[in-house]
Copies of this chain bind each other. A is one copy, B any other.
Amino acid sequence: MQKRYILAPGPVAVAPEVMAKMAEPIIHHRTSQFSAILTKVRENLQYLFQTSNDVIIFASSGTGAMEASVVNMLSPGDTAIVIRAGKFGERWTELCEKYGVKAVNIDVTWGDAVDPQKVKDELDRYPDAKAVFMQAHETSTGAKQPVKEIAELTRHRENTVLVIDAITALGVYELPMDDWGLDVVVTGSQKALALPPGLSMVGVSEKAWQMSKAAKLPRFYFDFASEKKAISKQTTAFTPAVSLIMGLSMVLEEIRSQGLEAVFRHHRELAEATREGATALGLKLFSRAVSEAVTVIETPEGIDGQAIVKKLREQYGITIAGGQGQAKGRIIRISHMGYLCQWDMVIAMAAIERALVSMGCPIELGKGVGAVQAYFSKSEGK
Contact = CB atoms under 8 A, between A and B. Distances in A.
Contacts of A24: 19
Contact of A220 (B13, B16, B95): B95
A221 B63 contact: yes
Interface stretch (A26-34, A149-157, A353-361): A26-34
Contacts of A201: none
Given A95-B220, A220-B63, A239-B61, A23 B20 contact: yes
Contacts of A98: 218-220, 223
Interface string A75-110: 000000000000000000011001110000000000
A100 B100 CA distance: 15
Interface stretch (A126-134, A190-198, A273-281): A190-198
Contact of A6 (B22, B28, B222): B28
Contacts of A25: 4, 6, 13-14, 19
Interface residues on A, range: 35 or more
A307 B63 CA distance: 41
A29 B219 contact: no
Per DSSP, chain A at the interface is loop
B242 A11 contact: yes
A330 to B, nearest CB: 17
A240 interface: yes
Contacts of A222: 221
Number of copies: 2
Interface string A311-349: 001000001000000000000000000000000000000
B23 A11 contact: no
A46 interface: no
Contact of A100 (B16, B62, B218, B223): B218
A64 interface: yes
Nearest to A167: B239
Contacts of A8: 28
Among A23, A62, A222, residue most surrounded by chain B Cβ atoms (within 10 Å): A23
Contacts of A244: 196, 198, 241, 243
Contacts of A181: none
B26 A198 contact: no
Contacts of A14: 25-26
B319 A28 contact: yes
Contacts of A217: 218
Contact of A197 (B12, B29, B188): B29
A59 interface: yes
Interface in A165-217: 188, 190, 196-198, 217
A23 B246 CA distance: 13
Interface in A30-62: 31, 58-62
A277 B138 CA distance: 60
A269 interface: no
5 interchain residue pairs of minimum CB distance:
A198-B241, A19-B23, A196-B243, A23-B23, A63-B238
24 contacts: A10-B239, A11-B239, A14-B25, A19-B25, A31-B313, A59-B59, A59-B60, A59-B61, A59-B198, A60-B60, A61-B241, A62-B238, A62-B239, A63-B220, A64-B238, A67-B221, A94-B220, A99-B218, A100-B218, A196-B241, A196-B242, A217-B218, A221-B222, A243-B244
